[in-house]
């Protein structure tokens, strides 16, 4: 399972990237708006920092506008994936960008039907938003199960990015289903890493080792 970070925060991207945990990045206009810096500069810097695919989203909703923005975004680096919303203009743009050899990530996917259309249009990735479905009283993870099954049935090479992830249990469920990628807010990744028993165990090892050092003061490990 690949782990993407769902953020535009350069500090956090650097931190997790140095740990080797970042297979890719997804951003969106909301995430960029949270950072107090020029969004164009932020996007360029993310593309420079991270080796894997970096999804940068178009803001136009008309076909021509999406195509122009996609080509401009792609100039930021080879690893740019253009995020296109799940609309009829979006599907048209996905098809055209495939012909132009630009990878796309179809975003704001909330049903298996939308995922099928995105895959048939040539999207490299689809991003079903499970947390927002949960918020609306649906079982977001059921959608992932369905899409993974359907893509397997037809050997679609479109990868499923589990998006709008809210907590570590989402990650486990997505992994059990066999989803290709999860894109995680940094705080979810931080929670995956931590366990109170790990901290407790480490404290005990440290204090026991201090006792050993009292008996053998010249001890070097």
Residues making contact with ligand E4P (CB under 6 A)? 6, 26, 28, 107, 127, 129, 131-132, 163-164, 183
Active site residue 83: yes
Q: How far is the CB of 183 from ligand E4P (least distance, A)?
A: 5
SS3 106: strand
What angle do helix axes 88-99 and 63-74 make, rounded to 10 degrees?
Answer: 40
Q: Give the residue with the Cβ less far from ligand E4P, 54 or 221.
A: 54
Q: Nearest approach, Cβ of 197 to ligand E4P (angstroms)?
A: 29
Provide the minimum distance between the beta carbon of 163 and ligand E4P in the complex, in angstroms, as a whole number: 3
Smallest distance, Å, CB 219 to ligand E4P?
49
Residue 220 CB-density burial (10 A; 0-12 exposed, 13-18 middle, 19+ buried): exposed
What's the sign of the alpha-carbon dihedral 55, 58, 62, 63?
A: negative
In whole angstroms, give the CA distance from residue 78 to residue 53.
Answer: 9
Closer of 107 and 158 to ligand E4P (Cβ): 107
Cα–Cα separations (whole angstroms), residue 125 to 107, 151, 157, 197, 203? 9, 11, 9, 37, 43
Q: Which is nearer to ligand E4P, 104 or 164 (CB)?
A: 164
The nearer residue to ligand E4P, 17 or 28, going by C-beta atoms, is 28
Catalytic, out of 34, 51, 74, 83? 83
Tokens of 77: 């680096």
**Residues classed as catalytic:** 83
């Amino acid at each position: 399972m690949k782990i993407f970070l769902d953020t535009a925060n350069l500090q956090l991207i650097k931190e997790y990237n140095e740990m080797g945990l970042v297979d890719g990045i997804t951003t969106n206009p909301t995430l960029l708006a949270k950072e107090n810096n020029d969004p164009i500069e932020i996007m360029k810097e993310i593309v420079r920092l991270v080796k894997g695919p970096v999804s940068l989203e178009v803001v136009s909703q008309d076909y021509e506008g999406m195509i122009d923005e996609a080509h401009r975004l792609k100039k930021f680096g080879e690893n740019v994936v253009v995020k296109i919303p799940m609309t009829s203009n979006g599907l048209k743009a996905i098809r055209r960008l495939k012909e132009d050899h630009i990878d796309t990530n179809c975003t704001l996917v909330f049903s298996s039907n939308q995922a099928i259309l995105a895959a048939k249009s040539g999207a490299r990735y689809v991003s079903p938003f499970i947390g927002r479905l949960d918020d609306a009283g649906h079982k977001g993870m059921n959608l992932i199960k369905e899409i993974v099954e359907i893509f397997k049935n037809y050997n679609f090479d479109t990868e499923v990015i589990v998006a709008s992830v809210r907590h570590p249990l989402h990650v486990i469920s997505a992994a059990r289903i066999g989803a290709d990628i999860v894109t995680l807010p940094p705080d979810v990744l931080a929670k995956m890493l931590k366990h109170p028993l790990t901290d407790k165990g480490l404290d005990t090892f440290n204090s026991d080792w201090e006792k050993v050092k009292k008996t053998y003061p010249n001890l070097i490990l």
